[in-house]
Chain A
């Protein structure tokens, strides 16, 4: 594939600056929200002592999980040797770095004491999965940067496969770590399952591929570069398989719970009478994030259908993480199994939560940061091939 020519995007058009300005507004709104939360305290958010992780965490976890998955295309090219995807590998790496940066920014700015980030860098409790994740995230930056270097620097091209394998393994461990943040929570029925680690991995495949497809289509369209139908169809198939895999893991998780008597109440809450969480599960996660994209990529086909499918996967993914993160906390903890609880501290009742403007602004700011880093990356370094027309690169 040495014949593939990469070129920076020109980045002088009005459209380019409009995009950057818009993203700049999102980022500014996110920073303003973080400042307000730091100044006033989290009392200005919808988060409480029962829902301690709210909308910012939905966005942050989505971006971090999607970051790992955005590297799919590069992995398929380098690790599994699919030549068709090789011209896309650079963009895949760039997007992975940008999404992770956006997600981590949200996570850090939501801390009660973001000014103590240095403490998190200097004091480690090595039994904490969170502490492991700090290394996994920073390591991911380093490994993907190395991987990109082997792709961008001609003299290093010989090491691309090895760097690709390292990045592939690293991201599997990273997403295992992200899923285990929840999986290791022994005292909450909605979590406490080893299944969450592989579930998060397949979620990362789906969300990351969806984000990649949208970014690729937008980048090629706005920079006037050809993008072949065959390539897009292959990406669509990939997306469809990942979406189906997510549905499979979700089904197994719920079926297992339904079989266990003590988990029945939890399942009733999630699947039947959990209000917003039940709606988000069936309509958001299963229908919009699962069934609709499957129909779009396998039955409808076509460019518009693929873009719509990718957008649906992202919307459904946010719904899924909302159900997992916020629904999982809203469901009352079983402190006294077999007994109904009541107290002034909202024991035994479904905790109420409504997203607040600062939380949404912070989350959207993270998305804006990820997008802005991608746009700037495309302008300063040659990440995108001059043409992705079907007949230009040799097909696999």
Chain B
């Protein structure tokens, strides 16, 4: 067998093996993701670590969230929904300026969940805070209670919704930590965009998983929660704030 034929054969075998194994690997990936029937588990605590020192003036995270979840505004900033926003901070004493993304902090003790009369605001076992769009009556008490101004009320009819992200006029909504992606074993859209087109300021992972990078970093590097005085233990933490 001459070398060319041998090489061709080698490639063919590799391709055949790849073709045979790829669906299997995909199956492994699917098997590792949570099935829709499987309940979220308290063994996990999904969280974000945001390094403010790396956060640039871009808004890749905001754009990605908007595209992923379909909360495109209607040009009415006072009533349009915002699930994630870029906030500029200026220290009053020193004048130091910073910018960072702000969204639902997915608190362990969420005030929005405490005040909701119907239980529509709820916290999943894995720490993701959500609104049940079927039982929200639109009283907006959760918007009053949220310490981070993270919630929006849908002020007008919505169209062009994403299949994974139901929205409805007259109900309240906020960042879902891209729960539909997380349940598929993917990262939230904002984190994906920040690491692709931004400055890699956002890290997503399971805070409870000792082998995860987020677990290692919050253990070994300083980070802080917003409004730590409120003792809400948010799932979102910031560095270099």
Q: Map CB proximity to A onto B158-187 as digits: 1 under 8 Å, 0 otherwise.
A: 000000000001111000000000000000
Q: Map CB proximity to A onto B108-119 as digits: 1 under 8 Å, 0 otherwise.
A: 000101111111
Asked if residues B81 and A49 are in contact (CB atoms below 8 Å), the reply is yes
From A117, A188, A345, residue with most partner B Cβ within 10 Å: A345
Asked if residues A41 and B89 are in contact (CB atoms below 8 Å), the reply is no
A337, B141: Cα distance in complex, Å: 23
Cβ-based interface call for A3 (8 A): no
Q: Map CB proximity to B onto A30-57 as digits: 1 under 8 Å, 0 otherwise.
A: 0000000010111100011110110000
**Chain A residue nearest in CB terms to B105:** A335
Cβ-based interface call for B102 (8 A): yes
Cβ-based interface call for A341 (8 A): yes
A117, B139: Cα distance in complex, Å: 11
Cβ-based interface call for B67 (8 A): no
Distance between A343 CB and nearest chain B CB, rounded to angstroms: 4
Number of interface residues of A (CB under 8 A): 50
Q: Which residues of A contact B79 (CB under 8 A)?
A: 42-43, 48-49
Asked if residues B156 and A43 are in contact (CB atoms below 8 Å), the reply is yes
Asked if residues B78 and A339 are in contact (CB atoms below 8 Å), the reply is no
Distance between B140 CB and nearest chain A CB, rounded to angstroms: 4
Number of interface residues of B (CB under 8 A): 54
Q: Which residues of A contact B227 (CB under 8 A)?
A: 187, 335, 337
Asked if residues A120 and B144 are in contact (CB atoms below 8 Å), the reply is no
Q: Which residues of A contact B80 (CB under 8 A)?
A: 49
**Chain A residue nearest in CB terms to B143:** A52
B-side binding surface: helix, strand, loop or mixed? loop
Asked if residues A336 and B226 are in contact (CB atoms below 8 Å), the reply is yes
Interface residues of B in 120-149 (CB under 8 A from A): 120, 135-141, 143-149
A291, B118: Cα distance in complex, Å: 42
A358, B77: Cα distance in complex, Å: 21
Subset of 17 A-B contacts with CB under 8 Å: A40-B156, A48-B78, A52-B144, A112-B139, A112-B169, A113-B137, A116-B138, A123-B135, A124-B118, A125-B117, A335-B226, A340-B92, A341-B88, A343-B86, A344-B77, A347-B102, A352-B78
The listed residue (B87, B92, B113, B144) touching A338 by CB distance below 8 A is B92
A42, B86: Cα distance in complex, Å: 25
Asked if residues A345 and B85 are in contact (CB atoms below 8 Å), the reply is yes
A3, B33: Cα distance in complex, Å: 80
Q: Map CB proximity to B onto A182-201 as digits: 1 under 8 Å, 0 otherwise.
A: 00111110000000000000
Cβ-based interface call for B154 (8 A): yes
Q: Which residues of A contact B226 (CB under 8 A)?
A: 335-336
A336, B99: Cα distance in complex, Å: 12
The listed residue (A38, A119, A341) touching B170 by CB distance below 8 A is A38
